[in-house]
């Protein structure tokens, strides 16, 4: 094949174009494969992140529910003050009752002490007088 033969140049050009097209197609196919792999890896990473986020949100929601339960069971400050005032009044009433009852019982106990003391003093006086008066009790 002579170099100036147009048919051989055209044949080489066709062959070159076919080879170039095959190489470009191979290059683009490889590029598309890498893009697909990267896209699939990103999708998988996103799926894992979403699942992790859902678990995290479930934990946060559980904590939020527990806090709401605590808030719901807590007494309001005004309600607590009213209850404490009521208890204070009842304690004051009981203190007055015990104090007044204690005063009465203390007076009664003192009365018994005075009575026994007086009986003892009379017995002593009788014993002393009888001993001085004749020696016979």
SS3 content of the chain, % helix, strand, coil (to 5): 90, 0, 10
CB atoms within 10 A of CB 9: 13
Q: Using 50, 70 and 90 to split pLDDT, how confident is the model at 67?
A: confident
Tens of pLDDT, residue by residue over 103-132, are 566 666 777 888 888 898 888 888 888 877
Which pTM was predicted? 0.38
Do residues 34 and 28 lie in contact, with contact meaning Cβ atoms separated by under 8 Å?
no
CA atoms lying within 13 Å on the CB side of residue 78: 0
């Amino acid at each position: 094949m002579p170099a100036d033969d147009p048919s051989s140049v055209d044949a080489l050009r066709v062959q070159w174009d076919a080879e170039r097209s095959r190489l470009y197609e191979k290059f683009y196919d490889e590029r598309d494969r890498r893009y697909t792999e990267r896209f699939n890896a990103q999708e998988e990473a996103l799926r894992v992140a979403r699942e992790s986020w859902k678990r995290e949100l479930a934990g946060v929601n559980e904590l939020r529910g527990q806090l709401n339960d605590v808030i719901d069971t807590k007494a309001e400050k005004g309600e607590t003050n009213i209850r404490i005032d009521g208890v204070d009044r009842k304690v004051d009433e009981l203190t007055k009752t015990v104090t007044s009852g204690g005063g009465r019982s203390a007076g009664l106990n003192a009365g018994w002490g005075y009575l026994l003391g007086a009986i003892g003093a009379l017995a002593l006086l009788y014993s002393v007088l009888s001993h001085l008066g004749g020696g016979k009790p």
